[in-house]
Amino acid sequence: MDTVHTLADLRTAVDHWKRQGHSIAFVPTMGNLHAGHFALIKAARSRADRVVASVFVNPTQFGEGEDFESYPRTLEADQRGLADHGCDLLYAPDVQDMYNTAAPRAAVHVPVVSDGLCGERRPGHFDGVATVVIKLINRVTPDCALFGEKDYQQLMVLRKMAADLDLATEIVGIPTVRESDGLAMSSRNQYLSPAERRVAGQLHAALERCALKIKQGEQVEKSIETERKKLSKSGFRVEYFELRRARDLAEISSPASESVLLVAAKLGSARLIDNMRFRHEGPSQN
C-alpha cells in the first residue's frame, strides 16, 4: 500500500488507475482505526478494483470544547492495518493541504436532515462533515464511498447531499460492527474507564428492548421513557432517544413501515451513539 499526503500525489495515483479502466471505492476515516473501519475496507474491496482510504482528523466538524486536540492520532498503526486488509492507497493530508484557503471558505449545509439529534447537540458538526466529504470525493473521484451505519444521521446527511448535488459517487452504508456485548465499535470507546466499559453495552440492549416493545404494540413514548430511565440509573447521561422514519429521519409519533431508533448518551467522558432499524407490520406513518 502506498501513502500520499498531497492532492497532487493523490491525483497522480488515481488518474493512473482510471486510465487503466479501474473502478475505485473510497473509505474516508479520521484514523485510530478498528475492526469497524476494516469491515468498510473489506466491503470496498468487494465493490471495486482499487480501494482508497483517507485519514484526516477534520477540525471543521469539532465544536468548541470537543476533543479535536486529544482525538487519537495513530497513523503508523493505521497504515499497517489498512495494508493488512487490502487497501491500495492511503491519503493522509494535513490541514493546510485540505483547507488551502483562509477563512471564510465555502461550506456545504444539508438542510432538515442535519437538524435535531446530533445536529442539535453539535451545532455546525454536519456542515463540517458534509464539506470535508465532498472535498474528499472531489479529490478521489471514486465510484462509491463507504460509511458505517453507526453514524446513521451522518449517512442520511451524506446521501441527501449526494442526491441534491448530483454526485456520481454512490454513498454506501455498511452495517455496524459490534463488540461481543453489543457496543458499537468507535474510536471514542477508549475514553471509557474499565468500570464504564462494563456497562456500555447496555446502550444497545436498550435499543433492542425498545424496538421489541414497539413492535409488540407498546406506546412509543412509554417504551422510550422506560429505557431512558434504565440508562440513567446505569450512569448514562442521555442526550436523546428518539424514533424516526428510517428513510429520511422525519419525526414520527408512531412506527413507520421501516423505523429507526436513535440514541446518544454520555458515559463518563465518552459520548456514545447508536441506532437500530426495524420493520413494523401494523398501521404506521409512512
Active site residues: 37
Cβ(270)–Cβ(188) below 8 Å: yes
Mark out the alpha helices in 27-116 (DSSP H runs): 35-47, 75-84, 95-98
Cβ(148)–Cβ(100) below 8 Å: no
CA angle in degrees (0–180, nearest 5) for 122-190-81: 105
Cβ(114)–Cβ(126) below 8 Å: yes
Cβ(107)–Cβ(126) below 8 Å: no
Cβ(157)–Cβ(113) below 8 Å: yes
| 99-127 CB burial, b ≥16 within 10 A, e <16 | beeeeeeeebebeebbebbbbeebebbbb
Cβ(51)–Cβ(44) below 8 Å: yes
- Provide the 8-state DSSP code for 166: T
